[in-house]
Amino acid sequence: MTPMQLARIHHVAIICADYARSKRFYTEVLGLRVIAENYRVARDSYKLDLALPDGSQIELFSFPEAPARPTRPEAQGLRHLSFEVHDVRAAADELAAQGIAVEPLRIDEYTGRCFTFFADPDGLPLELYEAAAAEDIDALLLKLEGALHLREVRASAAQLEELLDEGFRELGISGTEWTRPAIIEALRDEAFSERTISDFRVQRMAPDIALVTYRAHRAAIPGRPEADSLRSSLWRLRRGRWRMTFHQGTPLQMRT
């Protein structure tokens, strides 16, 4: 018999006591993106689908008169839900600033990584766990910046929303100022050109802010010549993930 090939965890389902309170917690405090929200009349129940950056999901349900599930003392069954972040202390400080009680930070004796616990509005234990240092900040931001030049990313509103901050602004090479909704809509139907990056540099402005500068080359397509430009981006680390908050392009004369 061929072993079952499990790919990943698709979603975790959570039943809450107060739907409005828990919806605010998971969307506004933890910053999860809403995929869909449905009210099932026959069951008098809400179902809220929420996305994490890696594609995994949380399904938040409300059911009338659902019994409480005790979390302490610890018992058999599912124990807690853990979120990976790049900076546990920064994420914990952000939660504390919003009035969320966070346990003291600890170190995993087996991996050496930092972690801590907090709880959702119904007392469900949630964990922040430090991501492995698989790549340095320069490599990570080059990967993220480069993703924004890929055809499949530029055509995907969901992927762009994960990479661009809510308050994102761009000053384009044409002089046009773009907001996040405007640039997502414009890229949906763009005539795509291949782009390459060179002279990539990262300057850390603060622990959670990085300035990226580079030279971009846009290949020619029918009706549009090739072009070079200088590019600069501001990236911000928030809730354990980097998002672009500002981008500017300056046109250059083509080399002869």
Report the CATH number that the domain containing residue 200 is assigned in CATH.
3.10.450.50
Contact (CB, 8 A) for 50 and 36: no
Residue span of the structural domain in which 56 resides:
11-65
Whether residues 213 and 172 fall in one domain: yes
Whether residues 196 and 110 fall in one domain: no
Flag whether 81 is in a domain: no
Whether residues 162 and 223 fall in one domain: yes
Number of Cβ within 10 Å of residue 239's Cβ equals 19
Section 215-229 average pLDDT: 91
Choose one of 134, 169, 193: the last residue of a domain. Answer: 134
Whether residues 176 and 224 fall in one domain: yes
Whether residues 248 and 202 fall in one domain: yes
Flag whether 167 is in a domain: yes
Flag whether 76 is in a domain: no
Which of 34-43, 61-70, 131-140 is the most confident on average?
Answer: 34-43
CATH of the domain at 107: 3.10.180.10
**Is the per-residue pLDDT at 99 higher than 60?**
yes
With pLDDT > 70 as the criterion, what percentage of the chain qualifies? 96
Q: Which of 65, 69, 23, 67 is nearest to 46 (CA)?
A: 23
Q: Determine the pLDDT at residue 143.
A: 92
Total tally of structural domains belonging to the chain: 3
Q: Render pLDDT for 61-83 as a digit per residue (tens, 0 to 9).
A: 999 989 988 887 877 788 899 99
Contact (CB, 8 A) for 16 and 22: yes
Section 21-36 average pLDDT: 95
Q: Determine the pLDDT at residue 142.
A: 94
Whether residues 61 and 29 fall in one domain: yes
**Is the per-residue pLDDT at 229 higher than 80?**
yes
Whether residues 129 and 148 fall in one domain: no
Flag whether 182 is in a domain: yes
Flag whether 73 is in a domain: no
Q: Does pTM top 0.75 for this prediction?
A: no
Please report, as a single letter, which amino acid is at residue 218. Answer: R
Q: Which of 209, 196, 199 is nearest to 137 (CA)?
A: 209
Q: Which of 81, 85, 92 is nearest to 57 (CA)?
A: 81
Whether residues 208 and 111 fall in one domain: no
Whether residues 20 and 60 fall in one domain: yes
